[in-house]
Chain A
């Protein structure tokens, strides 16, 4: 399996520009997560989807951020307009819950991240 695929790997843009980050989850996974990582704040969950439906977007910083998952194999995170404080590494992760009698297990698999720098 190719794992979670993110693009672009690096993005440098100017303040005010629109930024779109892309993610292809692992085939067969039904949950998708968008995270942001900075030195100051660590790894923060922005939003996650189950079966393409947004479940919890309480981590989305403000209205400038939006995420979509039009189908099971693709998601986007858009920042419009971008600001210097949005500079961070953005990770996408996917998972699939495995349930048996009496237990369940779910492992999140992370993509390589998109390193965003807003000047």
Chain B
């Protein structure tokens, strides 16, 4: 079974600060996805990384896929209250098919 572990589980910061969320596994993934989930809603895809060492930027969010494709990170620069939410990483399962395995999530609270 492929597992994705996220850290930290919870992060509380002040507006304007930076933060980094990590997603780690002992298994190699062909790709990893990051989702953000706001209270009362379903997760929404932010980005998919597919190449080892890849870095993708989405405004103030920077996503990195590890060289060995076993880990990924999400860095938020100058966090804003609108960044508050549950951040989930997910990767495809080993078996054929389009099933995703999700990490446990990191709950981020950005205080104004």
Contact = CB atoms under 8 A, between A and B. Distances in A.
A binds B: yes
A57 to B, nearest CB: 11
7 contacts: A44-B102, A45-B99, A45-B100, A105-B48, A108-B45, A110-B44, A111-B42
Interface of chain B, main secondary structure: loop
Interface in B62-112: 88, 95, 97-105
A43 interface: yes
Interface of B: 40-45, 48, 50, 88, 95, 97-105
Interface residues on A, range: 20 to 34
Contact of B98 (A91, A106, A111): A106
A112 B102 contact: no
B42 A113 contact: yes
Interface stretch (A11-19, A48-56, A68-76, A78-86): A48-56
